[in-house]
Amino acid sequence: MIRKSLKNALILIAGLSMTAAEAQTNVYDNVIAVSPVHTSLKAAVDKAGLASVLKSADSNYTVFAPDNAAFDQLAKDLKTDIAGLLALPNLADILLYHVLGTEAKAADVTNGALVNPLGGTNSIKLTKSKDGMSIHANQALVNRADVDVDNGVVHSLNSVLLAGETVVDIALDNGFTSLAAAVIEARLLPALTDPFGIVTVFAPTNKAFDDFASANKLTIAELLALPTLADVLTYHVVSGSVKAADLTNGNVTTLNGKDVLVNLAMGVRINSATVTKADLTASNGVVHVIDEVLDEKFLSSKTLNAQVISIYPNPSSSVVNIALNSSSPYYITDMTGRAVRSGVLSENTSIDISGLTNGTYVLNINEADAKYVATFIKN
């Protein structure tokens, strides 16, 4: 009787254990497979044969889960459809690039953390807003965080992550520690890791940051704390991928809305900075290394409330003609702000610049009720 009771108890315990095991939740069955806004992700996981991986009770995952709108946008960017995405030969690698082998909840995320996923050859860059209210994985915003299951946690994303080497990776891989720290602190990682946000970056070296901080009587820590840090950095970024061979003389508008001056008279110069290494190519653009931090005061026509006028030819080796009828005083400054020539204009005048050394100059014209500026290159 005792043996029979013991046997029945063991059977009961075994049954309870089996029920408990069946009750275990996992990121596939209890999140991906049942979410109405992640049906494309489920289809991709099924197609790649990864469902069993995400069901594993012996693992602990963090899954960044792109929603349906994210997959729709990726299909549009790649000029295909969902069926085309499911047919990608690297589909499994793309999906595993969204999975960490450890559990990381939103509260565990630190700004600028680089985490290594199960798939792909690149890290995921995490950004946390200063108020802690938003998180990005690369360019993707976490639109729902901390869906907790027994074998990990799921964070829903509004964009699909791709593992290509971005302009941020160029900076990280080439020792631009000050630039990388500034980009992280300014919360610009999402913009610069966007695989379809193509940009050209003029990347100051560490020494350039040291010199800039010293010239402004700041430490690097104080520089990183500037409220205008994002503006300083976006002054170094131009939309589109522009190789060195494609640069032309003249003004180019940066992402912060202000212009830099490209001068090809003597090598390649951006404002007063020299490009020391060009054409470091990334999946989302190109990086040119420069030896100075670009200063918005270099082209100060907007802050002076001056109107920009045209002069021609530009560049010129001898004479520039001014598209302005004026008999007002003028002066010419070099890029350090030093006046190198002055005089008085007459109507339809030309100015002889043959005596100037090769370089970039700013013509300033001061009328009684207006100011005019024009940048030109002598070569």
In the chain, the N- to C-terminal Cα span, in Å, equals: 109
The residue written with tokens 């889960």 in the block is 65
- Angle CA(119)–CA(77)–CA(84) in degrees, nearest 5? 70
- Percent of the chain scoring above 70 in pLDDT: 89
How far is C-alpha 106 from the geometric centre of its chain's CA atoms? 22
Per the document, the length of the chain is: 379
- Residue 194, pLDDT score: 97
Residue 178 near residue 187 (C-beta atoms within 8 A): no
Residue 209 near residue 182 (C-beta atoms within 8 A): yes
- Residue 328 predicted with pLDDT over 90: no
Q: What are phi and psi of 332, to 5 degrees?
A: -115, 130
The helix (run of H) or strand (run of E) holding residue 202 is strand 199-204
Distant-in-sequence, close-in-space partners of 28: CB < 8 Å, separation ≥ 6: 45, 51, 54, 55
- For residues 316-341, one letter each, b for 16 or more C-beta atoms within 10 angstroms of the residue's C-beta and e for the rest, the string is beeebebebebeeebebbbbeeeeeb
- Residue 73, pLDDT score: 97
Rounded to two decimals, the pTM is 0.77
The arithmetic mean of pLDDT across residues 265-278, rounded, is: 87
- Angle CA(179)–CA(184)–CA(187) in degrees, nearest 5? 125
What are the DSSP calls for 263-281, one per residue?
A: E-SSS-EETTEEEEEEEEE
Q: What are phi and psi of 335, to 5 degrees?
A: -80, -5
Domain boundaries, the chain: 26-157, 167-298, 307-378
Question: Which tens digits make up the pLDDT trace of 101-126?
Answer: 999 999 999 999 999 999 978 999 99
Question: Which tens digits make up the pLDDT trace of 71-93?
Answer: 999 999 999 999 999 999 999 99
CATH number of 307-378: 2.60.40.3080
Confidence band for 372, pLDDT divided at 50, 70 and 90: confident
- Residue 204 predicted with pLDDT over 80: yes
- Percent of the chain scoring above 90 in pLDDT: 65
- Residue 108, pLDDT score: 95
Residue 272 near residue 335 (C-beta atoms within 8 A): yes
Domains 167-298 and 307-378 share a fold: no
Q: Per CATH, is 167-298 categorized as 3.30.70.3280?
A: no
251 or 305, higher pLDDT: 251
Question: Which tens digits make up the pLDDT trace of 334-350?
Answer: 766 667 888 888 766 78
CATH topology assigned to domain 26-157: FAS1 domain (2.30.180)
- Residue 21, pLDDT score: 47
- Residue 274 predicted with pLDDT over 80: yes
Cis status of the peptide bond prior to 195, with omega within 30 of 0: no
Task: Indicate the burial class of 196 (C-beta count within 10 angstroms; 0-12, 13-18, 19 or more).
Answer: middle
Residue 71 near residue 44 (C-beta atoms within 8 A): yes
CB count, 10 Å around CB of 35? 18
